[in-house]
Amino acid sequence: MLPYATLSEAEVALGRNLTAAETLWLNYTGKMPNLIVYCHTIALLFFVFSLAPLPVVFIELKRLNPFDSHKIQPKVRLSLKEMFRCYKDVMFLFFCIVGPLQFISYPLFIKFVGIRMGLPLPSVWEVVLQLVVYFLIEDYTNYWLHRFLHVNRWGYDNIHRVHHEYEAPIGYAAPYSHWIEILLLGIPTFLGPAIVPCHLITFWFWIASRQLEAIDTHKG
């Protein structure tokens, strides 16, 4: 909940007029409890997981050119039934692991790490630079954790093998994995914001961008 009762009060506190984006943020979140605002992250992830892979599913089923000619495994295809089963499994993991994890992470990220929700909103350059840092940190740490799960026989057979159950990867299979792997590979995703705290809006951009990247690299 923002500490401003009115737009004028916020402008006096900041010593300037609010931007259009800041006015929208104030009107939407001004009287909303911080926990509820933070839980928008769960809704954001749900929509990204559900909607972002749909264009690729359509291309896969319709075998549209010129996209189909670039398929990595042209002879291996998943049926609509298999894709739907993958989506159901992902949603089960989402509601049992990812969603609750986001919920319980509220005190950690807001009070300990310092993810802020108030005004002013970050500038475009601040958002861009922080996202670049997050991608670099995530790419490096994710590589080594992912590599460990491949080279370690026990780690692959008992954890990472689940992620490779679909021989022809599709967008919906990006988050499809063992629940332990979700926890392990969640570390690189959250490490950047933990090292370089940001505004919640930047955090949302990061979470969405990271999932879109994962969907893109798994679309086949």
Distance of CA 30 to the CA centre of its chain: 25
Q: Which of 62, 42, 58, 46 has its CA nearest to residue 219? A: 58
Cis before 120? omega within 30 = yes
pTM score, two decimals? 0.92
Compute the distance between CA of residue 169 and CA of residue 184 in angstroms, rounded to an integer: 21
Which pLDDT tens digits describe the chain residue by residue (220 residues)?
778 778 888 888 888 899 999 999 999 998 899 999 999 999 999 999 999 998 888 877 777 666 667 777 777 777 888 889 999 999 999 999 999 988 888 888 877 888 999 999 999 999 999 999 999 999 999 999 999 999 999 999 999 999 988 877 788 888 899 999 999 998 999 999 999 999 999 999 999 999 999 998 887 7
